[in-house]
A and B are shown apart, each in its own frame.
Chain A
Amino acid sequence: MEINNPAVLAEVEAAFAGYEAALMANDVDALQGYFWQSSLTIRYGGGENLYGYDEIGAFRAARSPVGLARTIDRTVITTYGQDFATAATLFYRESQPGKIGRQMQSWARMPEGWRVVAAHVSVIDS
Chain B
Amino acid sequence: MSALARIEATLARIAERDPVLNAFTAITAERARARAAELDASRAAGRAALPLEGMPFAVKNLIDIAGLPTLAGSKINRDRAAATQDATLITRLEAAGAVLVGALNMGEYAYDFTGENVHDGASRNPHDHSRMAGGSSGGSGSAVGGDLVPLALGSDTNGSIRVPSSFCGIFGLKPTYGRLSRAGSFPFVASLDHLGPFARNVADLAAAYDAMQGADAGDAACTDRAPDLVGADLGKGIAGLKIGVLGGYFRDGATAAVLATLDHVAQSLGATQRLELPEAARARAAAYVITCTEGAALHLDRLRTRGADFDPAVRDRLIAGALVPAALVAKAQNFRRWYHDQVLRVFEGVDLLLAPATPCTAPMLGQTELDLGGKKVPLRANIGIYTQPISFIGLPVVAVPVTLPGASLPVAVQIIAAPWHEDVALRAAAYLEAAGVARAPQPRWP
Question: Which A residues form the contact surface with B (CB < 8 A)?
Answer: 7, 10-15, 17-19, 21-22, 25, 27, 29-30, 33-34, 37, 82, 109, 111-115
Provided the pairs A22-B446, A27-B446, A111-B27 are in contact, do residues A13 and B12 lie with their beta carbons within 8 angstroms? yes
| Contact of B14 with A by CB under 8 A | yes
Which A residues are CB-close (under 8 A) to B120?
112
Cβ-based interface call for B129 (8 A): yes
Interface assignment of B382: CB less than 8 Å from any CB of chain A: no
Known A27-B446, A82-B30, A112-B27; judge A7-B20 contact (CB<8 A).
no
Of B11, B16, B33, B124, which is within 8 A of A18 by CB?
B16
Is B46 on the interface with A (CB-CB < 8 A)?
Answer: no
- Known contacts A7-B8, A27-B446, A82-B30: does B25 contact A34 (CB below 8 Å)? no
Per DSSP, are chain B's interface residues mostly helix, strand or loop, or mixed? helix
Q: Closest chain B residue to A111 by CB distance? A: B26
Q: Bound state CA distance, A114 and B124, in angstroms? A: 18
A17→B8 CA distance, assembly (Å): 16
The residue of chain B having its C-beta at the shortest distance from the C-beta of A15 within the complex is B15
Q: Is B17 an interface residue (CB 8 A)?
A: yes
Closest Cβ of chain A to B380, distance in Å, is 21
Q: CA of A34 to CA of B26 in the docked complex: distance in angstroms?
A: 15
Cβ-defined partner of A30 (8 Å) among B15, B19, B24, B68: B19
Distance in Å: Cβ of A76 to nearest Cβ of chain B: 18
CA distance A27 to B124 in the complex (A): 13
Is residue B13 contacting chain A, with contact meaning CB distance below 8 A? yes
Residue of B nearest to A31 (CB): B19
State which of A30, A34, A113 has its C-beta within 8 Å of the C-beta of B129: A30
Residue of A nearest to B105 (CB): A112
Give the CA-CA distance A37 to B75 in the complex, in Å: 14
Interface centre among B19, B25, B120 (most CB of A within 10 A): B19
Chain B residues with CB below 8 A from A22, complex form = 20, 446
Minimum distance in angstroms from A38 CB to a CB of chain B: 13
- The answer to whether B26 touches A112 (Cβ under 8 A) is yes
Give the chain B neighbours of A17 by CB distance below 8 A: 16
Q: C-beta contact mask, B1-31 vs A, less than 8 Å → 1, else 0?
A: 0000000100111111111101011110110
Q: CB < 8 Å: which of A7, A13, A37 contacts B33?
A: A7
A11: chain B residues within 8 A (beta carbon): 11-12, 14-15, 29
CB contacts (< 8 Å) of A14 on chain B: these are 12-13, 15-16
